[in-house]
């Protein structure tokens, strides 16, 4: 057998695959221990990308021939087409646009209005903040949503003299960011990667994801209120006193001007509408969602044309550079046949079919993304699924959804599983609520398991309905 | 962390401590003077108190001996339990002629006795007011959230009088912090100056506006003066500029035994202006 392999050159190919697979494992481990290494994601991914390119060239696996585009020969460096520029454009454009919109005070205004509408009742406040977390996570990115809701929670509970409930609120909100991150195609990076690879439209994504998000949100909030004994105000005096406390918030204070506020509100609604209809709108359909995001960012910048550089400085360049590095690494892995190797490994799961296989894929993705970054996981699995002739050509395949659900919800299993839960833990630490790795898992596990079980049941239901 | 801190700041900035109206009524008033000021001056003080406090139902005059120890004064106040003590600077104090002190009796009264103290000029320095003041100035370096000060001032503001809410931001502290900020490369000095300055002015202004919103519908006249100053003379100039007939200041400081810094200095400087010290 070995002799046959050697003779056919397959052993050499396998050695290359294993060598590059080890590099991939190294990248994943470095990303998992990012905090311990005191290194930014972009530096880790950039370092591995540089190394992979050099080794890829050395092993002779990289395609250095010129690219042909519409009959024209393009002489691009090999790492340029390796990057998925539409994903980068979506992330860059939407981050810029959302940052500009948030300067309008719109999100602060909504957050304070909801706080006042709760009347200061802790149970109602938990529900309102929970729903707000989900909606903000869907519209913004999970991290920004958690920062907004988490910081408001700390301030309002302090105001209501209910700081003992801060841990419960932050934990539930942190867990809900990853549920809210499932709502739309642009709510989280795994959604963008998997959705664009599978060819799922914004509208279809929303229609499939929203029932699950509604049920999982309600279940998480109900469970959070029960487990942490979040009280409901009973007497009229209690209600009046609490209402007076939250009435001290002035929602107009965070709004720089009425014009900015309405500009932010209208442009955000227009952005959602155009993104939602991107697959149906002529011209836009061809230009893609990246164009929509970048276009809206450019339009919004017109309002702040003289201070546009401030927004450029605020961009998460670490995240963008990380994506570029990651895409390059994955591209090299593709050429080295590593993705084929993983695909073969996953073949046994895929072979189980759309019911058992997809459920198992969801669980596996969730466990994997709980200890490492869900972005490389989603990017890698999306490439593998895309390469499968049956799944790649079928955007309705439940395997796509199993990766989406697993990659998002897995983040709730550990405090390092997602950036937004890490933000929740950071807010806890800022307010002297110390919780360790195991402590977090103990508190979060029942919620995460419930959400994953609900997702599996939902996938099965979708399969049955199909 | 930066983002969390930024949004916490945004939300904290939206929190407002609006004025809470809790009317104070000085029904039982204890007028304290000393034998040196009596008897005519004592009667003049009684008349003055009656004029300034139309809601008072029980006004009692007590003469203290010039050498009366402070314990006697405190016992008297504790026994009578008035809502307000009306007295004068240099009460039962041999140093009443000295412009450098308000006298030990008055000083201890303002810090130890429970009721607020209306300190009139010494009767031999200036005659007690014969009519209710037209302008009552609530003067502080911390107006935001200071409902007690406003309620106290309001209790002595006649229906046709004008309540002046005056907040003086301490320039020296501000400049000292700005000097430090100017040495920190991570903070833009000009931006810090503008933003801190605006924020420092906004909080007392918002509070004063909430006072106005609460009182003007009741027919009360409220004016707002938010300014900067550092020295006692800045405060004195403000009082003179506004031609205030009565100055209201908080004197108690939970962290110290002595009277609150600027209140003590002003109580000495404003020798001819009645002051409500609480």
Asked if A314 is an interface residue toward chain B (Cβ–Cβ < 8 A), one would say: no
Q: Is residue B166 part of a domain?
A: yes
Give the span between the Cα atoms of A366 and A360, in whole angstroms. 10
Percent of chain A with pLDDT over 70: 97
Q: Which residue of chain A has the CA closest to B20?
A: A244
| Closest Cα in chain B to A158 | B12
A-chain CB neighbours of B3 within 8 Å are 143-144, 147
- A229 in a structural domain: yes
pLDDT, residue A388, reads 85
A43 within a domain of the structure (yes/no): yes
Q: A141, A147, A149: best mutation site toward chain B, by most B Cβ within 10 Å?
A: A147
- The pLDDT of residue A12: 65
Residue A156 lies in a domain: no
Q: Is A313 on the interface with B (CB under 8 A)?
A: no
> Exposed, middle or buried, B199 (CB in 10 Å: 0-12/13-18/19+)?
exposed
A147 touches chain B (CB under 8 A): yes
Structure-token match 């950036």, residue found: A419
Asked whether residue B253 is domain-assigned, the answer is no
**Per-residue pLDDT tens over the stretch A168-201:** 999 999 999 999 999 998 888 889 889 989 989 8
Residue range of the domain that includes B170: 132-248
Domains of chain A: total? 1
Average pLDDT, chain A: 87
- pLDDT score of B135: 94
In a domain, B92, yes or no: yes
Optimal mutation site among B1, B2, B3, interface A, most CBs of chain A within 10 A:
B3
| A148/A112 Cα distance (integer angstroms) | 11
The β-bridge partners of B156 are none
Element (H, E) at A190: helix A189-198
B275 found inside a domain = no
A351 burial level (CB within 10 Å; 0-12, 13-18, 19+): exposed
Question: Does the beta carbon of A254 lie under 8 angstroms from any beta carbon of chain B?
Answer: yes
Interface probe with A: pick from B5, B9, B11, B144, most Cβ of A within 10 Å: B11
For residue A223, tell me if it sits in a domain: yes
pLDDT digits (tens, 9 = 90+) for A23-67: 988 988 887 787 788 888 899 999 999 999 999 999 999 988 877
Whether residue B11 and residue A150 make contact (CB cut-off 8 A), yes or no, is no
Collapsing DSSP to helix, strand or coil, A342 comes out as helix
Structural tokens at position A307: 């201070």
Instruction: Report pLDDT for B1.
Output: 44
Q: pTM higher than 0.80 for the full model?
A: no
Q: Please list the ranges in chain B whose pLDDT falls under 50.
A: 1
Asked if residue A3 is part of any domain, the answer here is: no
- Both B57 and B137 in one domain: the answer is no
A154 near B CB under 8 A: yes
pLDDT at A206 over 90: yes
Task: Tell me the pLDDT band of A5, cut-offs 50, 70 and 90.
Answer: very low
| B192–chain A nearest CA distance, Å | 16
A453: pLDDT strictly greater than 50: yes
Q: How confident is the model over A379-392, as a mean pLDDT?
A: 87
| CB contacts, 8 Å: A251 with chain B | 14
Chain B residues in contact with A156 by the CB 8 A cut-off are 11
Q: In this structure, is residue A345 part of a structural domain?
A: yes
Q: For residue A240, count other CB atoms closer than 10 A to its CB.
A: 13
CB contact residues (below 8 A), chain B span 7-36, against chain A:
7-8, 10-18
B80 touches chain A (CB under 8 A): no
Same domain? For B38 and B82 the reply is: yes
**Confidence tier at A9 by pLDDT (50, 70, 90):** low
Residues B121 and B138 in one domain: no
CA distance, residue B169 to nearest chain A CA (Å): 21
What does the pLDDT read at residue A8? 53
> Based on the domain organization, do B85 and B72 belong to the same domain?
yes
Residue A466: give the domain boundaries: 15-60+175-244+316-466
Is residue A290 less than 8 Å (CB to CB) from chain B? no
Nearest to A172 by CA among A466, A440, A456: A440
Please tell me the total count of domains within chain B: 2
Residue B267 inside a domain? The answer is: no
Indicate the residue among B131, B147, B165 that finishes a domain. Answer: B131
Q: Is residue B6 part of a domain?
A: no
Residue finishing a domain among B131, B160, B192: B131
CATH assignment at residue B208: 3.40.50.620
Is residue B13 included in any domain, yes or no? Answer: no
**CATH code at position B85:** 3.40.50.2300
B152 in the same domain as B82:
no
- Residues B150, B181, single domain; the answer is yes
Q: Is the pLDDT score of A1 beyond 70?
A: no
What span, in angstroms and rounded, lies between the C-alpha atoms of A332 and A62?
A: 7
pLDDT for res B167: 95
Same domain, B143 and B109: no
pLDDT recorded at residue A135: 92
Confirm or reject contact between B66 and chain A (CB < 8 A). Answer: no
> Distance between CA A455 and CA A462 in Å, rounded?
10
Shared domain check, B127 and B170: no
* Final residue belonging to a domain, choices B80, B108, B131: B131
Q: Which residues of A touch B191 (CB under 8 A)?
A: none
In a domain, A167, yes or no: no
Q: Is residue A458 part of a domain?
A: yes
In a domain, B36, yes or no: yes
Mean pLDDT for A416-443 is 84
pLDDT tens column, B174-209: 999 999 999 999 899 999 999 999 999 999 999 999
From A148, A156, A159, residue closest to B7, measured CB to CB: A148
């Amino acid at each position: 057998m070995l002799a046959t392999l050697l003779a056919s050159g397959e052993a050499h190919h396998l050695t290359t695959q294993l060598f590059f697979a080890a590099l991939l494992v190294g990248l994943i481990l470095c990303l998992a221990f990012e905090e311990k290494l005191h290194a930014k994601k972009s530096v880790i991914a950039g370092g591995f990308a540089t190394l992979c390119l050099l080794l890829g060239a050395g092993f002779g696996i990289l395609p250095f021939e010129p690219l042909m585009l519409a009959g024209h020969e393009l002489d691009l460096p090999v790492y340029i087409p390796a990057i998925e520029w539409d994903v980068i454009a979506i992330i860059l454009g939407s981050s810029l646009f959302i940052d500009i919109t948030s300067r309008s005070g719109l999100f602060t205004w909504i957050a304070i209005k909801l706080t006042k509408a709760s009347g200061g009742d802790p149970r109602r406040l938990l529900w309102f903040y929970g729903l707000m977390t989900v909606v903000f996570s869907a519209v913004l990115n999970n991290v920004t949503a958690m920062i907004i809701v988490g910081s408001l929670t700390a301030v309002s509970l302090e105001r209501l003299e209910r700081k003992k409930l801060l841990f419960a609120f932050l934990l539930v909100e942190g867990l809900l960011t990853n549920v809210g991150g499932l709502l739309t195609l642009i709510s989280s990076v795994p959604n963008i990667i998997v959705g664009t690879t599978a060819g799922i439209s914004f509208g279809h994504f929303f229609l499939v994801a929203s029932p699950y998000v509604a049920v999982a949100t309600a279940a998480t909030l109900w469970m959070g209120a029960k487990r942490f004994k979040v009280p409901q105000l009973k007497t009229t005096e209690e209600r009046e006193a609490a209402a007076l406390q939250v009435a001290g918030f002035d929602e107009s204070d965070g709004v720089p001007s009425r014009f900015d506020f309405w500009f932010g509100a209208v442009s955000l609604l227009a952005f959602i509408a155009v993104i939602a209809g991107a697959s149906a709108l002529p011209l836009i359909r061809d230009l893609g969602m990246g164009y929509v995001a970048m276009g809206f960012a450019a339009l919004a910048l017109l309002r702040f044309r003289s201070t546009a550089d401030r927004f450029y400085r605020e961009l998460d360049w670490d995240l963008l550079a990380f994506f570029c590095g990651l895409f390059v690494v994955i591209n090299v892995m593709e050429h080295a046949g590593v993705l084929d190797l993983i695909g073969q490994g996953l073949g046994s799961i895929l072979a189980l079919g759309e019911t058992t296989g997809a459920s198992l894929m969801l669980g596996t993705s969730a466990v994997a993304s709980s200890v490492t970054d869900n972005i490389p996981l989603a990017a890698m699995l999306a490439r593998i699924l895309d390469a499968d002739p049956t799944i790649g050509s079928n955007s309705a395949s439940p395997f796509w959804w199993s990766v989406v659900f697993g990659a998002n919800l897995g983040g709730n299993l550990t405090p390092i599983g997602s950036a937004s839960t890490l933000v929740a833990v950071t807010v806890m630490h800022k307010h002297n609520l110390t919780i360790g790795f195991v402590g977090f898992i103990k508190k979060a596990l029942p919620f995460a398991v419930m959400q994953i079980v609900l997702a599996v049941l939902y996938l099965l239901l979708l399969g049955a309905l199909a | 962390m930066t983002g969390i801190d930024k949004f916490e700041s945004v939300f904290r900035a939206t929190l407002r401590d609006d004025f809470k109206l809790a009317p104070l009524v000085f029904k039982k008033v204890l007028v304290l003077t000393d034998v040196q000021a009596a008897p005519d001056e004592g009667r003049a003080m009684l008349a003055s108190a009656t004029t300034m406090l139309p809601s008072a139902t029980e006004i009692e005059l007590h003469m203290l001996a010039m050498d009366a120890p402070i314990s006697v004064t405190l016992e008297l106040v504790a026994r009578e339990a008035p809502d307000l003590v009306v007295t004068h600077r240099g009460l039962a104090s041999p140093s009443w002629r000295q412009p450098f002190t308000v006298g030990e009796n008055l000083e201890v009264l303002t810090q130890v006795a429970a009721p607020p103290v209306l300190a009139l000029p010494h009767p031999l320095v200036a005659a007690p007011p014969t009519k209710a003041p037209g302008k009552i100035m609530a003067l502080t370096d911390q107006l935001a959230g200071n409902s007690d000060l406003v309620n106290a001032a309001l209790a002595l503001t006649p229906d046709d009088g004008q309540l002046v809410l005056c907040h003086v931001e301490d320039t020296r502290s501000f400049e000292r912090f700005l000097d430090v900020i100017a040495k920190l490369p991570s903070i833009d000095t000009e931006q810090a100056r503008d933003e801190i300055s605006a924020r420092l002015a906004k909080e007392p202004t918002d509070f004063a506006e909430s006072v106005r919103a609460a009182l003007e519908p009741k027919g009360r006249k409220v004016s707002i003066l938010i300014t900067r100053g550092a020295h006692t003379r800045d405060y004195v100039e403000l009082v003179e500029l506004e031609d205030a007939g009565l100055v209201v200041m908080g004197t108690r400081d939970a962290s110290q035994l002595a009277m609150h810094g600027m209140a003590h200095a002003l109580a000495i400087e404003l020798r001819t202006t009645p002051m409500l010290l609480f």
